[in-house]
């Protein structure tokens, strides 16, 4: 089931789960009692926060706003060629 989630919900969800699991692992090694007590509440808050961001994100997407972050690992010349291809 956990392996199928990114295929249904997108890759960002798997990255969020991985980072959250890493934070919980570190939190449990530092303070096991508080991690056990507050981990469900913190996880619920983070999930709700991600859902709240979906509305502004979709409005910005409809408005055609491009994010300033580039996740392509290409040279500057190749990146310009890809951007020209995608914009046409």
Neighbours of 42 (CB within 10 A): 14
Q: Give the confidence band of 79 by pLDDT, cuts at 50, 70, 90.
A: confident
Mean pLDDT of the chain: 78
CA distance 25 to 17: 12
Average pLDDT over residues 21-26: 88
Tell me the pLDDT tens digit for each residue of 40-69. Answer: 888 887 777 766 777 777 788 888 877 666
CA distance 18 to 14: 6
CB burial of residue 61 (10 Å; 0-12, 13-18, 19+) = exposed
C-beta separation of 16 from 50 below 8 A: yes
pTM of the model as a whole? 0.49
Backbone angles phi, psi at 71, to 5 degrees: -105, 15
pLDDT for 30 equals 93
């Amino acid at each position: 089931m956990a392996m199928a989630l990114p295929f249904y919900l997108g890759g960002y969800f798997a990255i969020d789960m991985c980072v959250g699991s890493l934070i919980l692992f570190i939190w449990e090694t530092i303070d096991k009692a508080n991690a056990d007590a507050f981990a469900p509440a913190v996880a619920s808050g983070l999930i709700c926060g991600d859902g709240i961001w979906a509305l502004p994100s979709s409005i910005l997407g409809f408005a055609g706003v491009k994010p300033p972050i580039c996740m392509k690992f290409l040279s500057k010349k190749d990146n310009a060629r890809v951007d020209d291809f995608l914009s046409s």
